[in-house]
Every structure is written in structure tokens, then in C-alpha cells.
Amino acid sequence: MWRTPARRDAGAMPVIEVTDLRKSYGGRPVVDGVSFAVEEGEIFGVLGPNGAGKTTTVECVEGLRVPDAGRVRVTGLDPVADHRRVAEVLGAQLQQSELQPKLTVREALELYAAFYPKPADWRPLAERLDLVPMLDTRFAKLSGGQKQRLFIALALVGDPRVVVLDELTTGLDPRARRETWQLIEDIRAGGVTVLLVTHFMEEAQRLCDRIAVIDRGRIAALDTPAGLIRRSTGATVISFTPSAPLDEADLRALPELASAEFRDGRVTLSGTDETVNAVITLLARTRVTAHQLRVTDTTLDDAFLDLTEATA
């Protein structure tokens, strides 16, 4: 159904190249010098606050908007000048998508397949995306999750090398969202490069190999999820109720401790992984059991807030 995964070649040309991209509306810069490259086989995430320029950037990649300046290439092609050829290698699920209400799922798949010279067979695609039971269901009767699965199928029916998914899981319940995440991972496993625009931090942290954080039309950071988290000033928090009193002086002497709170017999400490390890050592040495132990790590949410606040 999907292509065999390509082996990454360090010298190979990126699938998507964006260089010094600029776009303004009414004299106001919306995208202001954005540059990034997406390698073959990646899930590349684009994060940013509302109005940061994410969708405009992606629409320039798709050839739906003409940049004011800069360079965009998809598999070496210009999305505007070579729009027809780009459409054959790039599939897209737009942020806001609708179909004719009376169109059935089968008719939509057959229609979109007819747009391409060498489309994928939509039947196994429909089976993999659990659309077979609703092939004769009209679009207006589909649930939100079913519509999203259909839009994924329509984005893939042209057998693209790269697919753009813009705010794919917005409006889905937690179960449908996690099912969609699995579908995205399956798409990449099938050899398709994914450009994913999202504002769900958990989604980006789970799926993306690298993430570009866009704020006020510029790249605020570009790194792996773990790399972005390491930049965060957020602390690791450990909280517990000790089975016996601990010496507060010993706790306040823990390495890299940022803060300590003692309330109603419960201890809450913030610091780093080194602080956590020292707490465990202290508990073992004093033979104190930590009841209701919770350790909360810094998350991509923390990193995102740090990065976007820093440029505000």
C-alpha cells in the first residue's frame, strides 16, 4: 500500500528545503525569514502559538501560497512553478477540509485516485484506515474521527513521498487522537516523510524526530524533542510522604535543589535528575519509605513556553 522505506543517505538532498521564507499580509510580516530542511523518512513537527505563521509556512510548501521572498523546494521542485509535479509527490491534509455532504467515502476515494497518473490502490488503504465499513456512508454522516481517517486516505491515495498533516487531531477525543498517532507512525513506517503541524505538545513529543518552533514568524528553536526539553528552565519535581520524619537540613543540602516545600507531612522538592538520585540515596540511607511518590519531569510544554515567552 505504501512505498518501501528509503534508507537515509547522509549526502542525499532533503525532501523539503525552506530557505529564508518571507510572507506578509497588508504590510505585516507573517513569516519572517524561516529556514529548515526535512530529511527523507522523518516526522518533522512544526509548533507555534496561534498566529505564529505555521500554516502560512506549510501552505507555501504545498504551493497554496506564493512566498514574497525566499526559496522552497519539495524533492527539488518549486511548489509554485512546478505545482503539477509537486502535487504528484506531496499529499496534504489541510487544517480546514470539507467534502460535498452527499459524497460517499467510496466516491471520494475513487475521485481523488483519478487525479493521479499512478495512484495507490485505495482499497487496502481504506482497509488499513478502517474505512471499509463506511464506504457507502455519505460524508455528512461521518464522525469527526472518521472524517480525519478519510482525509488521511485522500492525502495518501496519490502514493506521495511526503505528506503534510495540518492540525490533524484537533477536535478528536483522546482515544481517537491516540489511534490517529498510530496511523501517523504507520505512514512513516511505510516510507512516507511526514510534515506535521500541531499544537498538542504530547503529540509532538511522541511522534516527531525533530521540531521547528515558530514564533512571530521566525524559528525560535529547531531540535529533537529531547533537545528542546533540555533547553527548558523547568525543574524536575519529586514529591512524597515519608514514613518517618526527615531532617530538613539534609533535604535542603541536596545537590541542585531549586526549592523545597514541607506541608502536612508531605515533601515537595524541585531540582534536576541529580536531585532525584540524591533523594533516593537519602531515603535508602535513613531507611525511610516514600509513600505516594511522584516524579514529574520537564516536558515539551515547559520548553515550548520558555521558547515562545523568550521571544515575546
Ranges 20-24, 163-167, 296-300: which has the least confidence? 296-300
Q: Which among 243, 203, 208 is positioned nearest to 223, based on CA atoms?
A: 208
If asked whether residues 62 and 164 sit together in one domain, one would say yes
Of 177, 200, 223, which closes a domain?
223
| Residue 7: per-residue pLDDT | 44
| Residue 300: per-residue pLDDT | 85
If asked whether residues 180 and 270 sit together in one domain, one would say no
User: For residue 19, is pLDDT > 90?
Assistant: yes
Give the type of residue at 143. Answer: S
Region 14-39 average pLDDT: 96
Q: Sign of the CA dihedral 31, 215, 225, 228? A: positive
- Answer whether residue 306 is part of any domain: no
User: For residue 255, is pLDDT > 90?
Assistant: yes
* pLDDT classification of 312: cutoffs 50, 70, 90: very low
If asked whether residues 193 and 272 sit together in one domain, one would say no
Region 194-207 average pLDDT: 90
Region 276-305 average pLDDT: 90
- Claim: this prediction has a pTM higher than 0.85: no
Of 223, 239, 258, which closes a domain?
223
Domain harbouring 175, CATH code: 3.40.50.300
User: For residue 271, is pLDDT > 80?
Assistant: yes
User: For residue 8, is pLDDT > 80?
Assistant: no
Helices (H), the chain: 54-62, 83-89, 105-113, 122-128, 144-156, 174-189, 201-207, 225-231, 248-252, 273-286, 300-310
**Placement of cell 516510507 in the chain:** 191
Region 172-193 average pLDDT: 85
| Residue 161: per-residue pLDDT | 93
**Angle, CA of 163, 196 and 49, to the nearest 5°:** 145
Give the type of residue at 181. Answer: W
If asked whether residues 78 and 212 sit together in one domain, one would say yes
Domain harbouring 245, CATH code: 3.30.70
If asked whether residues 203 and 235 sit together in one domain, one would say no
Containing domain of residue 244, as a range?
230-299
- Answer whether residue 207 is part of any domain: yes
If asked whether residues 118 and 253 sit together in one domain, one would say no
Region 253-282 average pLDDT: 91
